[in-house]
Amino acid sequence: MKRLPLHFLKTERMQVVLILLFVLLSGFLTVSFVVFPQLDMQEENRMLREQLDGSRYASLSITNMQRIAEHETSNLRALSNEWAHIAERLASFPNQTAMQNAEVNRIDYKVQLYEIRQRLQVKSDELKIQLMPTELGLDESLTSGDAIRVRMLQLKAVEKLADITLDRQIQRLVEIYPLPPVEHKDKKGRRIFEEYPVRIECDVDFEHLYTFFQSLFEENQVFTFRNLRIESGPTFDSKLRVKAILSALLFE
């Protein structure tokens, strides 16, 4: 019998070894890049199904979810309308939107300041009420455009409160001047409304003190109390001296 050459056997064995190595490598790569990712995906899908099963929306159909979305939208609309009504009711000025958007320059402010001072002085003379702070705690010096807007709104707050005190027949307006405004923002940093505090000191009797406080809650002239002190007046005729910080509200 004729024998096969030795080098042929070596070559055949080498081919078998190479085939085995290839099979092992292919199996390793298949497990690493196919089987394991599939197992991980199955585990993620299982966890996702468990979360969905535990969700309060799991048993809801698409139709029901649309109804819920419509209901939530309706609630949001109702709350927005309610907030708009509250803002309108608590606003200190009936034309607050126009006041916020109005463009004001230095000349406008100075003219307004002069006219309001003159008007309040004439009004106090006609009512025979002593108006001691004729300057209203405001001067004409301005530095920037933002300062002009703030100063004009402060002037309007002082004017509004001075008119209320004179209309309610106080005996003497001793002091009135504005304080720096206070911004109120939501959690996202958006401005909701501004306060324009005014420091006031006046002499008044018991009857007119009640009507004065009552008028501060009337529509389109609401003022909030930040500070209040009532003490005996300096004279027999001036029964009470009221010292207060009252804020006009301006909503966005």
Q: Do 17 and 113 share a domain, yes or no?
A: no
- CB distance 161 to 139 below 8 Å: no
Q: Does any domain span residue 74? A: no
Residue 25 is which amino acid? L
Write the pLDDT tens digit of every residue in 23-78: 676 666 665 666 667 777 777 877 777 776 666 655 566 677 777 778 888 888 88
Query: Closest Cα to residue 171, out of 244, 246, 237?
Result: 237
d(CA 158, CA 113): 11
Q: Does any domain span residue 65? A: no
- Which CATH number does the domain housing residue 110 bear? 3.30.70.60
Q: Does any domain span residue 18? A: yes
Mean pLDDT of the chain: 79
Q: Do 32 and 120 share a domain, yes or no?
A: no
Write the pLDDT tens digit of every residue in 111-147: 889 999 999 999 988 988 887 777 888 877 776 666 8
Q: Do 33 and 116 share a domain, yes or no?
A: no
Q: Do 110 and 32 share a domain, yes or no?
A: no
Q: Do 21 and 142 share a domain, yes or no?
A: no
> What pLDDT score was predicted for residue 28?
64
Q: Do 98 and 222 share a domain, yes or no?
A: yes
> What pLDDT score was predicted for residue 185?
87
Q: Does any domain span residue 43? A: yes
Tokens (6 digits) for 243: 């010292």
Whole-prediction pTM value?
0.67
Q: Do 164 and 40 share a domain, yes or no?
A: no
- 2 has pLDDT over 60: no
Number of separate domains in the chain: 2
Number of alpha carbons in the 13 Å side-chain half-sphere of residue 228: 9
Q: Do 38 and 116 share a domain, yes or no?
A: no
Distances (CA, A) of 16 to 11, 21, 23, 25, 27: 9, 9, 10, 14, 16
Domain assignment of residue 25, given as a range: 7-49
101-104 contacts at long range (C-beta below 8 A, 24 or more positions apart): 104/148, 104/149, 104/152
- 163 has pLDDT over 80: yes
Q: Do 109 and 42 share a domain, yes or no?
A: no
